[in-house]
């Protein structure tokens, strides 16, 4: 059929980035097959797609064999826990989805003759000794630290993708994603953007790990999605950084949130988590040159959208604090 729609498989479809990618590819006229096992993703993120004739969903754990009927043109692999709290709670699943899961999807891509793009991460740079981080920096990762399960799975993932590209001639793309935020993040996943917004909405103090001088560079989800789309349709197989270079310290970010929320809350200083990178800022020269891509949405604007999203959540969801529940359960054991 000359006019048949292209079909894309999106793993982690019920997650934050995965669900936004589903929306974007549906808007572009694709047939989208979403896959998730709901370990960290949530059905609510796909609720609005129920009944959409161009959207199918399969509940499946991709660390097990992935069998798909029919043709596939593209695979976007975005399934993974992505928060330091998750790495501690579900370390083995984190390792498996980046390694075994990626292997299954590479096999699927080969069988279907599909192009595959994988979500890699700035965590491949670890606690970086080069600043900002360009793609040719090899990184500084502690293999056995608490974050090692994520960082090393993603590093292995990149190696395996390049092996399939070089050995099997598979069409592959690697996006190294820096801190991204926006609506549909999990309110209590422990990451700094939802953590600070949630705390300010509940009238709690904001928890700063360490002295708050560590930096991050936050990219709004719509900019990231645009970068992913451009990378997928480029012809470049090596890793490309996608992120917003607008860097700031965590303490400055906390003050921005308090101002936006018109909150009187104070800052609670807590222990810095092990191997927490002290600085992080993407060098996006390659993405600019290759994809003509640069983030367009300022932090002020993006955080406003995100704040409104969290503020509109049902109250019981806002008051639930999975992180505290988890700590309490652990202490009871």
How far apart, in whole angstroms, are the C-alpha atoms of residue 56 and residue 49?
9
How far apart, in whole angstroms, are the C-alpha atoms of residue 143 and residue 145?
6
109 contacts: CB under 8 Å, gap ≥ 6: 72, 75, 115, 116, 164, 170, 171, 172
262 contacts: CB under 8 Å, gap ≥ 6: none
Residue 47 per-residue DSSP state: G
Q: Interface with ligand UDP includes 192 (CB under 6 A)?
A: yes
Interface map 58-97 toward ligand UDP (x if CB under 6 A): -------------------------xx-------------
Q: Which stretch binds ligand UDP (CB under 6 A): 18-26, 60-68, 191-199, 304-312?
A: 191-199
Shortest distance, position 273 Cβ to ligand UDP, whole Å: 6
| Opening angle at CA 210, ends 205 and 215, nearest 5 | 95
How far apart, in whole angstroms, are the C-alpha atoms of residue 164 and residue 72?
17
The alpha carbon dihedral of 44, 28, 36, 192 has a sign of negative
Nearer to ligand UDP by Cβ, of 200 and 214: the residue is 214
Q: Interface with ligand UDP includes 157 (CB under 6 A)?
A: no
Nearer to ligand UDP by Cβ, of 25 and 125: the residue is 125
Shortest distance, position 114 Cβ to ligand UDP, whole Å: 30
Contacts with ligand UDP: how many residues (CB under 6 A)? 15
Q: Interface with ligand UDP includes 214 (CB under 6 A)?
A: yes
Q: Interface with ligand UDP includes 265 (CB under 6 A)?
A: no
Active site residue 150: yes
How many residues are there in the chain?
A: 333
Shortest distance, position 269 Cβ to ligand UDP, whole Å: 9
CB-facing half-sphere around the CA of 122: CA atoms within 13 A: 31
Q: Interface with ligand UDP includes 171 (CB under 6 A)?
A: no
Do the beta carbons of residue 39 and residue 9 sit within 8 Å? no
3-state class (DSSP) for residue 163: helix
Shortest distance, position 153 Cβ to ligand UDP, whole Å: 14
Q: Interface with ligand UDP includes 205 (CB under 6 A)?
A: no
Active-site option among 150, 164, 181, 220: 150
Site residues for ligand UDP per CB under 6 A: 83-84, 179, 190-192, 195, 207-209, 214, 216, 250, 273, 276
């Amino acid at each position: 059929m000359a006019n048949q729609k292209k079909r894309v498989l999106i793993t982690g479809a019920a997650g934050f980035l995965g669900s936004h990618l589903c929306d974007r590819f549906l808007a572009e006229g694709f047939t989208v097959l979403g896959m998730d096992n709901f370990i960290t993703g949530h059905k609510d993120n796909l609720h609005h797609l129920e009944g959409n004739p161009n959207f199918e969903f399969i509940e499946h754990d991709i660390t097990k064999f992935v069998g798909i009927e029919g043709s596939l043109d593209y695979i976007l692999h975005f399934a993974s826990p992505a928060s330091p709290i998750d790495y501690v709670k579900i370390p083995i699943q984190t390792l498996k989805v980046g390694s075994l899961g990626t292997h299954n999807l590479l096999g699927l891509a080969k069988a279907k003759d599909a192009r595959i793009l994988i979500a890699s991460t700035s965590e491949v740079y670890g606690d970086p000794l080069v600043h900002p981080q360009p793609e040719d920096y090899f990184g500084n990762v502690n293999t056995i630290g608490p974050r090692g399960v994520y960082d090393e799975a993603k590093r292995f993932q990149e190696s395996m993708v390049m092996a399939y590209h070089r050995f099997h001639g598979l069409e592959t793309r690697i996006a190294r994603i820096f801190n991204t935020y926006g609506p549909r993040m999990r309110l209590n996943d422990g990451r700094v953007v939802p953590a600070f917004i949630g705390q300010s909405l509940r009238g709690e103090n904001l928890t700063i790990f360490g002295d708050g001088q560590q930096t991050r560079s936050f990219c709004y989800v719509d900019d990231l999605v645009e970068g992913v789309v451009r990378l997928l349709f480029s012809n470049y197989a090596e890793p490309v950084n996608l992120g917003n270079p607008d860097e700031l310290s965590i303490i400055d970010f906390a003050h921005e949130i308090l101002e936006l929320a018109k909150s009187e809350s104070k800052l609670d200083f807590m222990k810095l988590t092990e191997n927490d990178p002290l600085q992080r800022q993407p060098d996006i020269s390659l993405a600019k040159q290759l994809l003509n891509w640069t983030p367009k949405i300022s932090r002020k604007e993006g955080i406003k959208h995100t704040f409104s999203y969290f503020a509109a959540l049902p109250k019981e969801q806002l008051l639930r604090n999975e992180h505290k529940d988890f700590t309490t359960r652990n202490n009871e054991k």
